[in-house]
Structure 1
Amino acid sequence: MKKILITVFLFFISLAVNSQRNSNYSNVEINKLTIEVSTANSIGINHYTPGYSKNNDITLNTFNVGARYMFNPRFGLRADVGYMNLNSKNKADSKDYEVQLPTFGVQGVVNASRLFKIDESIGRFGLLLHAGLQISQLYPKTQDEMNAVDPTLVFRSHNTGRKENNIGIIYGISPQYRLTDKFALISDISFVNSLKQHFTWDGAMSPENNNLSGKFVSVSIGLTYSLGSEGTHGDWNE
């Protein structure tokens, strides 16, 4: 865990230093602020209680709204809020479950196409790399499992009505395509590793040997809009 936090910390330090060193962009007038809306298919990777399993169907179970500010055409920061609903819908080999997960994230962003100077050759295409921290609250909605002999007794609790606050590492890659000077189509694949998650993705408590982690992946598609009076956003080479 410490190594991951140190890596993210160094990423932000490098981001700040490089944003100041890029003096060749200091006199370039660009639109720096972008807003983004997207929807995603999110899948909890681990952990699950026996009898419950992840839903691999492609369902749009996540929605995000974000804003990104670029210090220069290569480096910036991004903040977003999201909502995720993991459930066993249409999955025959799993017991019924549902958890809800509102999120808030702050990440450093690197415009890889500008950084590696391939923006001219790829034209309207672009590539962003991002990493940072995500805060979340996990709300289980799964019904408790009752004792088969005595239905008045709870066999396994799924913590319905409770919530778990968490923080995790998020990192990913975002290909994009410029539609107009202001609008771009963006896709993304992100991985999140929670640092102290005690609940499973079906809502129960994890066994002690693995109850301090939880992982999920999101694959999204969305639309971005560049704010400002300049012709195009700094993501793109004129």
Structure 2
Amino acid sequence: MKTISKFYLFLLIVVATPLFAQFNVNNLSIEAGYGYTGAISPYQKLYKSNFSGLNHYNVGIRYMFNEKFGAKVAYKLDHFVNDPGGKVGITYSAVAVSGIYNVGKQLGLTYLTRDKVGINAHVDAGVAFGYMIGQNQHEKIGVVGIGLTPMYNISNNFALTADFTHNFTMKQHYGFDGILLNKDYTPQSGGYYNFSVGLIYYLGENKYHSDWY
């Protein structure tokens, strides 16, 4: 029985070590981006607007457990407003946690480009606090997202990034126009997307980050 227990302990160590091991590389980064937010649905066609525009902001901190897997915590701000004017709509202030997978490493892209181009895939889960513009109304909405983040390595400390994320909203009571969807307060699901460009700053005392190691 003791032999079996020792075997399972040994097996656990063998499996877990590659996941968390880092060999003289940095694994922490700070990221920020700005870009386009696009409302898909729901919103009413009362205005000559699609409630979309260059109104997306994000900032986050990412930790890579190894060269392929990591996690990220981010704050995102999206304004859905009528254009022109900006007096009708809703603002989403969201906090999200993401699972990160380095697709570029898996496909050998970083090797082919000599550590210049990479791609991260991510799955997000978070909460958005919606504030209706010009109204004393607000609500809390669950948001799930999936996206891709191409990266271009500038130096050991910086990388340029672009990101496309498709977001799904859960139990949305107000549309992106800030109007109540149903008088009986029945919620609906919805969706919106983000396209942003930004900058990654790598933290740590080592020369390389696990994105490019």
TM (norm. structure 2) is: 0.84
Task: Render the CA deviation track for 1:146-205: whole Å, top value 9, x for unaligned.
Answer: xxxxxxxxxxxxxx1110101111110000101111100010000110111111001111
Supply the distance in 2 between the matched residues of 1:168 and 1:115 (Cα, whole angstroms): 28
Q: RMSD of the alignment, in Å? A: 2.4
Residue of 97, 114, 118 corresponding to 1:106 = 97
* 2:5 aligned partner: none
* 1:33 aligned partner: 28
Supply the distance in 1 between the matched residues of 2:125 and 2:46 (Cα, whole angstroms): 31
* 2:124 aligned partner: 132
Larger strand fraction of residues: 2
1:203 aligns with 2:203: no
Task: Render the CA deviation track for 1:48-77: whole Å, top value 9, x for unaligned.
Answer: 123134145xx4211111000000010000
1:49 aligns with 2:48: no
1:232 aligns with 2:203: no
- The alpha-carbon deviation at position 29 of structure 1 amounts to 2.0
Unaligned runs of 5+ in 2: 1-11
- The alpha-carbon deviation at position 21 of structure 1 amounts to 5.1
- What is the aligned length? 197
Residue of 130, 141, 147 corresponding to 1:172 = 147
Letter aligned with residue 23 of structure 2: V
Task: Render the CA deviation track for 1:2-54: whole Å, top value 9, x for unaligned.
Answer: xxxxxxxxxxxxxxx9xx55729835221000001111210111001231341
- The alpha-carbon deviation at position 122 of structure 1 amounts to 2.3
Letter aligned with residue 103 of structure 2: A
TM (norm. structure 1) is: 0.76
Letter aligned with residue 209 of structure 2: H
* 1:218 aligned partner: 194
- The alpha-carbon deviation at position 132 of structure 1 amounts to 2.2
* 2:9 aligned partner: none
Contact 1:194/1:214 (<8 A) preserved:
yes
Structure 2 CA distance for partners of 1:25 and 1:106, relative to 1, 3 Å: closer
Percent of pairs with identical residues: 26
Residue of 113, 122, 147 corresponding to 1:122 = 113
Residue of 54, 61, 70 corresponding to 1:67 = 61
Supply the distance in 1 between the matched residues of 2:58 and 2:78 (Cα, whole angstroms): 9
Letter aligned with residue 232 of structure 1: Y
Contact 2:59/2:76 (<8 A) preserved:
yes
In the TM superposition, structure 1's runs of 4+ consecutive aligned residues that sit over 4 Å from their partners are: none
- The alpha-carbon deviation at position 223 of structure 1 amounts to 0.4
Supply the distance in 2 between the matched residues of 1:227 and 1:26 (Cα, whole angstroms): 17
Residue of 80, 86, 90 corresponding to 1:86 = 80
